[in-house]
């Protein structure tokens, strides 16, 4: 049976693909954003999801938005007021709304908006009794993506127990979000899963970008030679909604394989000779490893980049 899901930031690069996937699984979705959800190809608006214009840095707006109708048609719906009130609360909240990187606004605004919005969404959901929350963390927490100058990772593979020590504001805001999630999960006995999302790739970007990535792999160091297909990220969101009872968890959200034509360990030993490889890695395993999300949630890589480049 489908769930009622509030999705924040659904009009962005990732959300415009994740929401159609969730709809295809029978879920209802309300989007909280400042603009409506475009179709995945960018042409026109998605007619299947209602967008409620919401400032996520305003806690009052967030509480109200999480306890409102999903569309205008629900005003006419019959409800059992004795059990659920005039509005049915969401079953889950997926929080992607944020400044997506540094240098969109000054650093202090990036930090303030990202940390405050994440706090507001988690607090409101927990205090309303919503027990499933998924938040967007980031690959940047591993400390290299937005490092000042060239920097090495501490070790490979990059897994969820890694000692994250970024030097930039955006990544710091994401680590604050993870700690906020951990705090509220403990206090309210809720399931709150933080997704450390890799470099999000849309379908049209394979033919445009990946030949260059393979030819010049040095440009992918900041992304740990890893990525997440936007549609597969939708699958991950759906799996998170379905999996109950895990409490607070961090998951790397990436596809299975490295974005090079050289096997993983061979490539890493040449590209990062001073970085230790702490376990045997799969032949083509992504350095930003998704082993946990495969083993715990059952993620299946559907959109391997090689299908779109090598056929």
Cα 234 off chain centre by: 9
- State residue 82's pLDDT score: 45
pLDDT for the residue 171: 98
At residue 62 the predicted structure's pLDDT band, cuts being 50, 70 and 90, is very high
CATH code at position 108: 3.40.50.720
What pLDDT does residue 80 have?
A: 55
Burial 267-299 (b: 16+ CB within 10 A, else e): bbeebbeeeeeeeebeebbbbbbbbbbeeebeb
**Helix (H), strand (E), coil (C) string for the chain:** CCCEEEEECCCCCCHHHHHHHHHHCCCEEEEEECCCCECCCCCCECCCCEEEECCCCCHHHHHHHCCCCCCHHHHHCCCCHHHHCCCCCCCEEEECCCCCCCCCCCHHHHHHHHHHHHHHHHHHHHHCCCCEEEEEEEHHHHCCCCCCCCCCCCEECECCCCCCCCCCHHHHHHHHHHHHHHHHHHHHCCEEEEEEECCEECCCHHHHHHHHHHHCHHHHHHHCCCCEEHHHHHHHHHHHHHCCCCCEEEEEECCCECCCCCCHHHHHHHHCCCCEECCCCCCCECCECCHHHHHHHCCCCCCCHHHHHCC
pLDDT digits (tens, 9 = 90+) for 204-228: 999 999 999 999 999 999 999 999 9
Whether omega for the bond prior to residue 157 falls within 30 degrees of 0, making it cis, is yes
Q: How confident is the model at residue 87 (pLDDT cuts 50, 70, 90)?
A: confident
Entry pTM? 0.96
Sign of the four-CA dihedral 245, 251, 256, 262: negative
Mean pLDDT value of segment 107-114: 98
Residue 113 lies inside a defined structural domain of this protein: yes
Please identify which residue in the block is written with the tokens 């890694």. 162
Strand partners, 7: 31, 94
With respect to residue 273, please indicate whether it lies within any of the assigned structural domains.
no
- Cα 186 from Cα 296, distance rounded (Å): 20
Supply the range of the domain harboring residue 94: 4-149+158-203+225-257+287-309
Whether the pLDDT of residue 145 is over 90: the answer is yes
* Residue 218 within any structural domain of the chain: no
Structurally, the chain folds into a number of domains equal to: 1
In a domain, 61, yes or no: yes
Q: Please report the pLDDT score of residue 84 as a whole number.
A: 56
For range 171-194, the mean pLDDT: 98
pLDDT tens, position by position, 2-26: 999 999 999 999 999 999 999 999 9
Q: Are 285 and 252 in contact (CB under 8 A)?
A: no
Say how far residue 123 (Cα) sits from the centre of its chain: 19
Task: Report if residue 210 sits inside a domain.
Answer: no
For 196, phi then psi, to 5°, come to: -80, 90
Does residue 216 form part of some domain? no
- Structural domain contains residue 100: yes
Structural domain includes residue 88: yes
Question: What is the rounded average pLDDT of the residues 81-102?
Answer: 84
* Number of residues that make up the chain: 311
Q: Taking the chain, what is the end-to-end CA distance rounded to the nearest angstrom?
A: 36
């Amino acid at each position: 049976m489908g769930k009622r899901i509030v999705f924040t930031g659904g009009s962005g690069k990732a959300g415009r693909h994740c929401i159609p996937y969730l709809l295809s699984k029978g879920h209802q979705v309300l989007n909280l954003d400042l603009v409506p959800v475009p179709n995945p190809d960018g042409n026109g608006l998605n007619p299947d999801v209602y967008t409620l214009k919401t400032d996520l840095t305003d806690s009052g707006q967030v509480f109200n938005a999480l306890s409102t109708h999903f569309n205008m048609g629900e005003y006419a719906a019959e409800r059992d007021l004795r059990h659920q009130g005039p509005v049915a609360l969401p079953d889950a909240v997926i929080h992607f709304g944020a400044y997506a990187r540094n240098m969109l606004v000054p650093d202090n605004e990036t930090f303030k908006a990202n940390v405050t919005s994440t706090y507001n969404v988690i607090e409101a959901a927990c205090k309303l009794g919503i027990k499933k929350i998924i938040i967007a963390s980031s690959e940047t927490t591993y400390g290299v993506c937005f490092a000042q100058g060239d920097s090495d990772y501490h070790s490979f593979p990059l897994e969820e127990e890694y000692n994250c020590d970024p030097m930039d504001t955006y990544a710091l805001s994401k680590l604050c979000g993870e700690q906020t999630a951990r705090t509220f999960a403990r206090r309210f006995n809720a399931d709150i899963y933080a997704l450390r999302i890799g470099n999000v790739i849309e379908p049209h970007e394979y033919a445009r970008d990946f030949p260059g990535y393979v030819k010049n792999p040095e440009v992918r160091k900041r992304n740990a030679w890893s990525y997440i297909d936007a549609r597969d990220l939708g699958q991950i969101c759906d799996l998170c909604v379905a999996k109950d009872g895990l409490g607070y968890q961090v998951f790397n959200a990436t596809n299975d394989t490295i974005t090079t034509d050289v096997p993983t360990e061979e490539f890493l030993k040449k590209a990062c000779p001073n970085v230790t490889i702490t376990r045997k890695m799969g032949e083509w395993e992504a350095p930003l490893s998704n082993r946990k999300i495969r083993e715990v949630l059952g993620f299946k890589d559907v959109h391997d980049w090689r299908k779109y480049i090598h056929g």
